[in-house]
Every structure is written in structure tokens, then in C-alpha cells.
Amino acid sequence: MKKTAILAAMSLANLAQAHSLDFAADKYTAKTAEVNGATIAYRAYEGIPYVSKPVEPEYQQINIYIPEAYFNGGSINGYSAATAPIFLPNQIGGYMPAKPGVPGERRHGGQPGADAMQTALAKGYIVASPGARGRTSPTGKAPAAIYDLKAAVRYLRHNDAVMPGDAEKIISNGTSAGGALSILLGASITDGDDRKLFVEIMGAADARDDIYAVSAYCPISILEHADAAYEWEFNGVNDYEKMDITMLDYKVERKLVKGTLDAAEQRVSDELKAQFPAYVNSLGLKNAQGEPLALNADGSGSFRDYVAAFVAAAANAELQKGADPAVLQAENPWLTIDGKRVKNVDFAAYAKAMGRQKTPPAFDALDLSSGENQLFGDEHQDTRHFTAYSAANSAVKGAGSVGRAAVKTMNPLYYISEKTVPQHWRIRVGTKDRDTSHAIAAILAAKLQNSGKNVDMAMPWGVPHSGDYDLDELFAWMDGVVKGK
């Protein structure tokens, strides 16, 4: 990741007292968690600045939780103080600022039982949850959040010799915008040119910031092409249930407002959909068999079949669990089921059955009302366009647009290659997720696979926009990639 901007108000850091970046093993609180009937004792190190010169200390800090067993020569799940992987879950939603996570503080979606952080501790992981600045905080415009997450990784690597856990085995996790940033954290590479930004300006540790593996739920990613992707999937679906724009954080209860696209919005949808085939074809993607993934001008083609195959796989998984084929067919008429196997997915009918959630453009709103418009603002203009289409068709007189360099820092596709460090990637987006096109996760998965990475990609049946709903499977995957199973 090349240095592209000096984060706003960084000069304020020079006036603040510098914080030590050395881990203080004696400054902790003893805590316990109940996980599956067992009590897990751990030490909580909270509110640790991960940069020496934070400009927003409330967010530029990390909470670290370490099983007590590791201070007594014990082991958990085959891990010791020297070998325990580090689970790095961020709490970011809607590209909003986020404080570090706390075990047991929130189980996403009100699900019962232990949360991801508690589960990680019970399975022998060190938990390190970083906060990060976001679009509504004073210095949180893009790319502040990804710089913060990288600074947090640098802190962990800097303290690897004195802190339990193996900093060579950091596994990131996030949902929605947090999922996108989890992927970007793994994909982007910093080099010598970035030292001044991270070390001298931000006050980050002079250490590497690559990680071992990536977990991402429903990533809101590839933002400058997400509008076209959304219309490729939902074009022709004119009725919508749009989320209240004040409720953009995925963690809060959502309020939906119903409506129907007017003629002008339908025209925008048509124009954006028409852009998507050329973009997909420009990527040169291939499936696991080495066959090209492409789209025809009308949006059909092998790439659409590739996305539909994930939906079919999810339905087949339900059948394997014992779902009645006749009932599944009746409830989802866009499926064609032959015996106990899905024979076909009518993708257009599937999109109509799901229903549209966003009006076009879904992300770079013509009236600059989206959270992503605010993400790409700056200290002079709170919201800006970040696509050529919306800048050319803006409903706001004199609306500004962000430069290509800033957009690039938030798009993992610019960085994913054979040189990308993490070999292991897990991506999940539910079949009932309507927050972005399913094409986004599919593009990421294909690009990673084409770059030689091991990708575990699935679209769980009936799951909406959410994360951490399959913790047993998540940690089985994590154990597998760490232990080489």
C-alpha cells in the first residue's frame, strides 16, 4: 500500500504526550467467561494505545485478552503461550468509528451463547480487538481505518517476544464494512515508502503489518464498482425496502422504508447495470477449472452462473440436512429441484424474491447521502463522490469528487496478487443478504483463487446481512489453517 495521503489533523499528534508501545504484562484485570458450561479464566489488557501519537485516543487503542493458563505453563486446544494464534476481530460497521471489542459485550443479531471473542478464548486463542477511526470521527475519512488496523498489527508484532501468542499467526475477522477492512488488511502490502507515514507521523511500531489469514462476513467492498454490481443483480426489481440512512451501522436494529423506483431511478439502474459486464470481463477471472468467468452485454454468462452456483450449493446443503425438496421448491420457486439436488437457479427470479434494499446508485448516492459518500469526504467537504458516474450525474451543485488514489487504498483488488501474504481466506455472505451484490464476494473469491490462495467461500442459506453466526465452523476452519489439517 503506497502512501497516498497525510491523515487529517495528524499534526495534532505532535502536541500530545507520546505513549509507550511496549506491552505491560502487569497491567491487567482478571476476568472469566462461561463457554459451553465451562469457566474460562483470562487476563484483560484494555485501552492500550497502539500508536504512540494517537489523534483520536478513544478509537486508536486495542483490547487484548489472554487465557490465564498461558501464564502458568498450561495449554488449551493444543496451543501454548508460544504457539497460540491471535484472533483479531474488529467491530466496524457502516465504516463508522469503532471502539475495541469486549468479550461478551455483544453477540451479533442477539444470538444466544458465547460470542466470537469468548469462543476464541475457550479455544486457546489470544484475542486482540482493535478500535479504529471512521467516517464520522474528526480524522476518520478514508483511508484512516485501514491505517489504524495496520498500526494495531504492528503493535502486536512489536511485542511478539514479550506477549503470549504467535504474531506470525494473526487471523483477522470482521462483518460488513468490517469484513471489507478485514480483507483489505490481508490484501494490502506496506513497504519502505510507508515507514514515514506509519512510524514517524502516526507513531506506529516499526514492524511488519502482514497477517496470516482472513475471515470476512458480507464484505461491503470494491466500492467504486459496487453500484454497477448492485444493479446487475437487482435491475428490474423496482419495489424496495430502503434502510433509514441514519441506521447505517449493521449492528443496530434496522428501520426500513418502503418505496418504488421512479422513472429517473430506473434509468440510473439501467445505465449502471450496463457498466458491469465490461468491468467483470476486464478482471480476467477464472473458475476453479481454469475456465473464464465473463458476462454478456445483457448480464448473463459464466460469471452469473458462478454466482448462482453458490446459491445452489446453499440450497443443496439444506437438502442434505433433511429439508423436504417439495417444501423447499414451493417456498423458493426460483429453484428447480430434481430429486434431492438443485438443478437450476433462476437468478433474476431469486433477486426479485429477495427484494431490493437500496435505490440506485446504492453506494455513491447522487445526493451525497450515503455512508460511503461520507467515507470519502475530507476536512473541507464531509461527503464526496467517488465514482465517475455519480460525479457526472450528481444532484448536488458543485459536488466534489475524491481522487483515484484515495479510492484505491480502500479496494483490495488493487493489491491481491501472488505476492499477497495470507494464504488462507474465508468469506461468507448469506443468500438473503441485500446490502450489496453477491457478485462482490464472488469477485473477491475468484481473484484470490486465481492468485493461488486457499479460499473457503460460501453463501449460507437464508442468512441476512450479519456475521459470527457460525462460530463452530469458523473456529474449525481457523484451527485447520493454523494446524495444517
Residue pLDDT, tens place only, 141-174: 999 999 999 999 999 999 999 999 999 999 999 9
Res. 373: pLDDT tops 70: yes
User: Hey, what's the cell of 352?
Assistant: 426479485
Secondary structure (3-state) at 336: strand
Residues 147, 7 contacting (CB under 8 angstroms): yes
Q: Please, which residues have CB within 8 angstroms of residue 11's CB and are 6 or more apart in sequence?
A: none
Using alpha carbons, list the distances in angstroms from residue 24 to 20, 80, 373: 9, 20, 40
pLDDT in tens, 8-43: 444 444 445 689 999 999 999 999 999 999 999 999
Mean pLDDT, rounded, of the chain: 93
User: Hey, what's the cell of 143?
Assistant: 483511508
pLDDT at 15: 42
Number of H helices, E strands in the chain: 14, 13
Q: Which residue has the cell 512489536?
A: 158
- Percentages helix, strand, coil for the chain (3-state, rounded to 5) are 35, 15, 50
Mean pLDDT score, 110-125: 88
Task: For residues 196 and 178, give the distance between their C-alpha atoms in angstroms, rounded to a whole number.
Answer: 26
User: Which CATH topology does 29-218+466-483 take?
Assistant: Rossmann fold (3.40.50)
Please, what's the largest Cα pairwise distance for the chain? 70
Secondary structure (3-state) at 269: helix
The CATH 3.40.50.1820 domain(s) of the chain lie at 29-218+466-483, 225-409
Using alpha carbons, list the distances in angstroms from residue 71 to 21, 82, 121, 158, 208: 21, 11, 14, 20, 26
pLDDT in tens, 186-242: 999 888 788 999 999 999 999 999 999 999 999 999 999 999 999 999 999 999 998
Mean pLDDT score, 169-187: 98
User: Hey, what's the cell of 378?
Assistant: 475530507
Cα–Cα nearest to 235, from 351, 387, 393, 350: 351
Cα–Cα nearest to 70, from 117, 126, 129: 126
Enter the pTM of the model.
0.94
CATH number of 225-409: 3.40.50.1820
pLDDT at 8: 40
Task: For residues 362 and 369, give the distance between their C-alpha atoms in angstroms, rounded to a whole number.
Answer: 10
Residues 242, 256 contacting (CB under 8 angstroms): yes
User: Hey, what's the cell of 349?
Assistant: 427470479
Res. 255: pLDDT tops 80: no
Secondary structure (3-state) at 98: strand
Give me the long-range contacts of 324-328 (CB less than 8 A, separation at least 24).
Answer: none
Mean pLDDT score, 300-329: 97
Task: For residues 360 and 352, give the distance between their C-alpha atoms in angstroms, rounded to a whole number.
Answer: 16
| Radius of gyration, CA atoms only, the chain | 22
Using alpha carbons, list the distances in angstroms from residue 315 to 126, 318, 459, 480: 35, 5, 10, 25
How far does Cα 366 stand from its chain's mean position? 25
pLDDT band at 7 (very low <50, low <70, confident <90, very high): very low
